[in-house]
Amino acid sequence: MVDVIVVGAGPTGLMLAGELALADVDVQIVERRSTSDLVGMRARGFHSRTIEILDQRGIADRFLAEGRTVATASFANSLVDISDLPTRHPYTLGLAQSKVERILADWVGELGVPIHRGGEVVGFAQDASGVDVHLAGVAPMRARYLVAADGGRSTIRKAAGIEFPGWDATRSTLIAQVEVTEETPKGIRIDETGIHGLTPMDEGRTTQVLVTEQELGPATDPTLADLSRALIAVYDTDFGVRSPTSISRFSDATRQAAAYRAGRVLLAGDAAHIHSPTGGQGIGLGVEDAVNLGWKLAQVTKDIAPDSLLDTYQEERHPATARVLKYTVAMSVTQRADGRVGALLDVLSDLLAVDAARIKMAGLHLGLDVCYVAEGGRHPLLGRRMPDLELTNADGPLRVFTLLQQAHAALLNLGEPGSVALGPWGDRVRLVEALHEGAWELPVIGAVEAPEAVLIRPDGHVAWVGDGTQAGLEDAMTRWFGPPAPRRHAVNQSGSGP
């Protein structure tokens, strides 16, 4: 029996498997596709917080080297500058999902995670000690926990009986990569049906097509004939489309699982939530699910923390994702040419000219405003992502994100040396004594008072803020890293780099 089986080798499943492997959890991936080839067009990039998360694991440069960064974002068809947000990565990265999956697969391969391709999960049965995963045509596999990262039509979510409430689709869009025989128009066209556009690909041979169908399409794989009809309805020609590399159909259906957990079975990524592709939020939401769940599941499987720690996964991720889903619904409404929509766009454009409104929208769009605790009365850092500060310690300069590359928690003491201590959590959390010269600034919030110490979770979010004393530290340690244990070998108890 393995510790965890992850079903699905998309970005969410791969990221989660990597997180678990970093924590020395015995994890295996089961993927329905027999090869790593990705059929159809999928996501085409992700935003600042996702890049930060990859940077926390020391692999962001792999993605940046193959993509294209853009320091603007589109809100309700208004293009706004995001380059001044307080992050090391104030931009969106354009990168095809096929390349994202390849880079992540290489990473989890380096970590020794097996991927069982061609394995179709048809159901499961769980008991008090584990889960039997039933596969078509082969013997079942068994694990202590099962994570469904198997997409919006998740077999596991349905088998678990988890409800999937939300909004039904009102329109569908075809996204394709094809060859054309006629010259294509430049730019995006928006009409009463939706959004349309044709963009030549960098290799010069094919064209990427985006076209909204005149009527809601079926939940089946689209054909070249479907693409041709949709283009003719908009442009009076299909531009001679032929030799499709891929054709996919997306809708604006928006749903979120009522529960992210059923016993030993958990949901992540599209298995937990689906939405319109407007805003490019898909990969980011899945990666954030993965890094929130990974370290918690690792501690539970290793009997460090109680099973109840897994309940905080839904408590944190469900409301954070619900905000983004509402945002995608709102933004998709603006992608129609209609007098009333036009009036709304004019109002939004005026609002976005106000700097505070622009920054607030950018924080949501880029994933930089997530906060996992209730507002009010506490230090504004608590529950938010830790800034990637430039630090100095006895060994020289270092960055905060380098402290997180092995997915370990860190207690960062910026005050009087020795003023905080790990106590019996020394084998679970790393203590770093360092200095930071300069202001602290958070996205959307702005400047905040510099803390004396911070407890940083493996996902990069702040679990405790110190004022020069240890008040509240033991409670935070117990909540997130399990009850006190007899002191054993500490995790790299120095201020040196990783």
Residue 140 CB-half CA count within 13 A: 14
C-alpha 260: how far from its chain's center? 15
DSSP-based three-state secondary structure for 163:
coil
**Predicted confidence band at 384 (pLDDT cuts at 50, 70, 90)?**
very high
- pLDDT reading at 487 higher than 70: no
Which tokens go with 127?
Answer: 């008991």
State what percent of residues in the chain have pLDDT above 90: 83
**Predicted confidence band at 36 (pLDDT cuts at 50, 70, 90)?**
confident
Q: What average pLDDT does the structure give for the chain?
A: 93
As a whole number of Å, the end-to-end CA separation of the chain is 32
393 to 313, 397, 420, 432: CA distances (angstroms): 34, 6, 16, 8
Q: What is the pLDDT of residues 57-106, one digit of tens each?
A: 999 999 999 999 999 998 877 889 999 999 999 999 999 898 999 999 99
Strand-pair partners of 131: 126, 143
C-alpha 171: how far from its chain's center? 25
- Which ranges of 367-484 does DSSP label H, i.e. alpha helix? 473-481
> Is residue 100 a contact partner of residue 374, using CB atoms and an 8 Å limit?
no
**Predicted confidence band at 377 (pLDDT cuts at 50, 70, 90)?**
low
Mean pLDDT of 22-40: 88
> Cα(265)–Cα(134) distance, rounded to whole angstroms?
14
**Predicted confidence band at 176 (pLDDT cuts at 50, 70, 90)?**
very high
pLDDT at 65: 97
pLDDT at 420: 95
Place of tokens 């020391």: 58
Which tokens go with 306?
Answer: 């109680």
The angle, 0 to 180 degrees and rounded to 10, between the axes of the packed helices 48-56 and 282-301 is 30
Q: How many helices (H) and strands (E) does the chain have?
A: 11, 29
Q: What is the pLDDT of residues 319-358, one digit of tens each?
A: 999 999 999 999 888 888 888 888 999 999 999 999 999 9
Which DSSP letter does residue 440 get? E
- pLDDT reading at 153 higher than 60: yes
> Is residue 427 a contact partner of residue 491, using CB atoms and an 8 Å limit?
yes
> Is residue 489 a contact partner of residue 427, using CB atoms and an 8 Å limit?
yes
Mean pLDDT of 442-462: 96
Q: What is the pLDDT of residues 285-315, one digit of tens each?
A: 999 999 999 999 999 999 999 999 999 999 9
State what percent of residues in the chain have pLDDT above 70: 96
pLDDT at 493: 43
The angle, 0 to 180 degrees and rounded to 10, between the axes of the packed helices 311-333 and 282-301 is 180
**Predicted confidence band at 202 (pLDDT cuts at 50, 70, 90)?**
confident
- pLDDT reading at 418 higher than 70: yes
> Cα(384)–Cα(386) distance, rounded to whole angstroms?
6
- pLDDT reading at 267 higher than 50: yes
- Residues 6 or more apart in contact with residue 103 via CB below 8 angstroms: 59, 62, 63, 66
pLDDT at 44: 80
User: What's the whole-model pTM score?
Assistant: 0.93
- Residues 6 or more apart in contact with residue 194 via CB below 8 angstroms: 171, 173, 212, 335, 336
> Cα(293)–Cα(20) distance, rounded to whole angstroms?
9
pLDDT at 35: 83
Mean pLDDT of 119-145: 97
pLDDT at 230: 97
- Residues 6 or more apart in contact with residue 65 via CB below 8 angstroms: none
- pLDDT reading at 430 higher than 80: yes
> Is residue 50 a contact partner of residue 287, using CB atoms and an 8 Å limit?
yes
- pLDDT reading at 495 higher than 50: no
Could you please report the per-residue DSSP string of 402-424?
GGGTTS-EEEEE-SSTTSS--GG
Which tokens go with 270?
Answer: 């599209």
Q: Which residue has the higher pLDDT, 377 or 232?
A: 232
> Cα(462)–Cα(372) distance, rounded to whole angstroms?
9
DSSP-based three-state secondary structure for 108:
helix
pLDDT at 219: 85
> Is residue 242 a contact partner of residue 179, using CB atoms and an 8 Å limit?
yes
> Cα(290)–Cα(277) distance, rounded to whole angstroms?
20
Q: Which residue has the higher pLDDT, 377 or 113?
A: 113
Structural domains for the chain: 2-166+255-366 (3.50.50.60), 171-251 (3.30.70.2450), 390-481 (3.40.30.120)
The winner for highest mean pLDDT among 134-138, 190-194, 201-205, 489-493 is: 134-138
Which DSSP letter does residue 346 get? H
> Cα(24)–Cα(11) distance, rounded to whole angstroms?
20
Which tokens go with 167?
Answer: 């909004």
- Residues 6 or more apart in contact with residue 491 via CB below 8 angstroms: 408, 426, 427, 428, 429, 430
pLDDT at 492: 45
